[in-house]
Amino acid sequence: MNVRKFIAANARDALRKVKEMLGPEAIILSNRAIPGGVEIMAVAASDMETILPPVAPVERERDDDYTVSLSSTEQRAPQPRREAAVPPLAPRPVPQIDRTALRAESRGQAEIVSAEMMEEIRSLRRMVEQHLAGSAWGESVRSEPVKSEILRQMLDAGFSPSFSRDLLAELPGDLNAGNALAWAKQSADRALKTISEASDIVDRGGVYALVGPTGVGKTTTTAKLAARCVLRHGAGKVALITTDGYRIGAYEQLRIYGRILGVSVYLVKDAQELQQTLADLQHKHMVLIDTMGMSQRDKMVGEQAAMFSAGNVKRLLLLAATARGDTLDDVVRAYGGPDLAGCILSKVDEAAGLAAPLDAVIRHQLTLHYVSNGQRVPEDLHLPNRAYLLHRAFKDLPDASPHRLGGVEPGLIMATTGQSKLAAGGRRG
């Protein structure tokens, strides 16, 4: 196999040399960075045949009495000797060669080689993409410095590349940095859905189940909502239900809250008990259901949703403001459904920033009902203050922060997530 080495100042020039010398079908065997440039090892497609082991040609085995074809079971008739006749020998077994298996083995070896080469090609592609992303970012910084700076701030804050790119696609090109940031906040504000004082579910009433993963504060938030309703409508108008019969002390914890508020607390174990209990409590203004925390990957999440759907129970999803964006996406996808009335953002006081949770709320088009920022009941539950939330979400990182992006890093992030189209988005804007 005639392997050739190509050295150039960058990957683009090296690939051009490969194409000119070996043609567009050339196979990349390896690539690596070297001082002053890039080295690529490649081979022409026609030379790849030498990698496959040759199939042995069909041979015939001859002895004194029989001629046997290795590719057939057919035997030739024995030729009589000119010497004295001897008794015929018993025919020997005909060797069988499974040529289908032989071809399969050859294909298997070819596939292994091909997989190795494909990994090399993918590695080269990633290297080229990063190089092009750096070039595109540098060009964008020169041509659209304000837009590039706002994008960096959004990525630093924790917004996803997808949301950042879409939000800034229509950013006017004649704004300074301060006005551009204000424009971005206004665009996010228009996309964020929240309830107002007039649409507070405590005043509307109904049956709501608070759902979500473990540790997001469902029981405490249930107590906060119950206290909020008791202050407006009285303890006789509120009831609490828990379906958490697994966690030690869960029912007792809710009973303590119920005793303080003067509200009845019920424990249900299955869908039938839930239906009966809800029928007995239909005269209540508001019924709140505390649920067992489950991982978003637990198959019981779907069973729980089906149980509440059968009982005409609306669900409120608790999202921890401290969670990563990809984790929040998993949670929303797992707990989503037509009976999901909206979400409550918990642990706001523990989060360094609010970009990731607001990003998830906006992208999944959830309605944000409340914000929880502490353990006090009921003081630490509030209707969303949009200006405060967006201010914290867009807050820039200090220059000395180890999480602050620098140089071409924003461009590389956009490239690795398949969103390296900042320049194209700017031209649309």
- Give the model confidence (pLDDT) of 145-168 as tens digits: 888 888 888 998 899 988 998 998
Report for 23-27, 67-71, 422-426: range of highest mean pLDDT? 23-27
Residues 350, 47: Cα–Cα separation, whole Å: 61
Residue 364 forms part of a structural domain: yes
Q: What is the pLDDT of residues 368-391, one digit of tens each?
A: 999 998 888 888 899 999 999 999
Count the domains in the chain: 3
Range of the domain at 117: 3-52+102-129
Residue 214 sits in a domain whose CATH number is 3.40.50.300
Residue 189 lies in a domain: no
**Least confident stretch, 278-287, 361-370, 378-387, 407-416:** 407-416
Question: Would the pLDDT of 188 be above 90?
Answer: yes
The answer on 256 and 333 residing in a single domain is yes
Residue 232 inside a domain? The answer is yes
- CA dihedral of residues 421, 426, 427, 429 (deg, nearest 10): 130
- Confirm whether 242 is domain-assigned: yes
Say if 71 falls within a structural domain: no
Rg (the chain; Cα; Å): 35
Give the DSSP per-residue string, 136-159.
Answer: HHHHHHHH-HHHHHHHHHHHHHT-
Same domain, 203 and 267: yes
338 occurs within a structural domain: yes
Residue 370's beta-bridge partner residues? 344
Q: How far is CA 39 from CA 1, 15, 27, 255, in A?
A: 19, 10, 14, 70
Question: Exposed, middle or buried by CB within 10 Å (0-12, 13-18, 19+), for 34?
Answer: exposed
How far CA 138 is from CA of 142, 308, 417, 422, in Å, comes to 6, 53, 18, 11
pLDDT above 50 (res 257)? yes
Is residue 355 scored above 90 in pLDDT? yes
In a domain, 138, yes or no: no
Mapped to the 3 state alphabet, what secondary structure does 401-423 carry? CCCCCCCCHHHHHHHHCCCCCHH
The answer to whether residue 161 sits within a structural domain is yes
Q: Say how far apart CA 234 and CA 238 lie, in whole Å.
A: 7
Residues 215 and 318 in one domain: yes
The reply to whether 315 and 424 lie within a common domain is: no
Q: Looking at the structure, do residues 289 and 168 belong to the same domain, yes or no?
A: no
- Tell me: do 149 and 235 sit in the same domain: no
Same domain, yes or no: 376 and 243: yes
Token output for 45: 């497609």
Residues 179 and 200 in one domain: no
Peptide bond just before 378 cis, omega within 30 deg: yes
pLDDT tens by residue, 68-101: 333 344 444 445 555 445 455 455 554 454 545 4
DSSP conformation letters of 274-333:
HHHHHHHTTTSSEEEEE-----TT-THHHHHHHHHHHTT-EEEEEEETTS-HHHHHHHHH
Is residue 306 over pLDDT 60? yes
Residues forming a β-bridge with 5: 41
